Amino acid sequence: MSKLNANELYSGLDEKLRAMGWDSGVPEAHGLLTGLACRGFSAQHIGNKMYMFELDSGQDSASLQALYELVLQNLESDDPVFDLMLPSDDESAFRRADEIANWCSGFAQGFCHDGDMSILQKTGPVKEMFDDIMSIARIQADLSDDEAGRHREDRALTEIEQYLRVGIQLIYEEMVATPSSREAVSK
């Protein structure tokens, strides 16, 4: 994913979404769009899903469309690790934990937006990863007062982010990217 484009989209769209009442801004929106991508929605068909964001203008819709296209590019790239749109490591552990939870909540909304809960009946790595994402969506930050505790928290958050990056790529590969998964998704 182009960092320049992602950063430009992040800052402008984050402000706009928060102003419209999306308290979790871009992380939740990025998670939601990633969930839709992992269900196999193409860039051409995402336009009719923009109602989920309650946008005021076509420009906002175009920004989200561009964000979705970046999600798809990132998932389909040769780079085996998916980029999450989360606050930088310079942010507080509390904010990072909160936004990771928001991203996971958005992913679950996008992945199950049409009421298809068949994922809950599956077994294997995709189901396990989805269960983990649901658990991460419920995390609560309990911050340490000492330096060593803050270092452990930062390391734990980094590990969660890495786990999500690899896991999202796994879900996409299993659900969309392989020919047999595309047939299953289209049915």
For 6-38, write each residue's pLDDT tens digit. Answer: 566 677 777 777 777 677 788 988 999 999 999
pTM of the model: 0.83
CATH of residue 42's domain is 1.20.120.740
Residue 64 has pLDDT above 50, yes or no: yes
Provide the pLDDT for residue 172. 92
Q: Which of 149, 111, 152, 151 lies closest to 133, judged by CA?
A: 111
Residue 180 has pLDDT above 80, yes or no: no
Task: Label residue 134 by pLDDT band (50, 70, 90).
Answer: very high
Summary mean pLDDT of the chain: 79
Provide the pLDDT for residue 161. 93
Q: Which of 179, 94, 89, 172 lies closest to 133, judged by CA?
A: 172
Domain that holds residue 176: 3-186
Residue 128 has pLDDT above 50, yes or no: yes
Q: What is the domain count for the chain?
A: 1
Q: Which of 12, 31, 36, 43 lies closest to 82, judged by CA?
A: 31
Provide the pLDDT for residue 66. 80
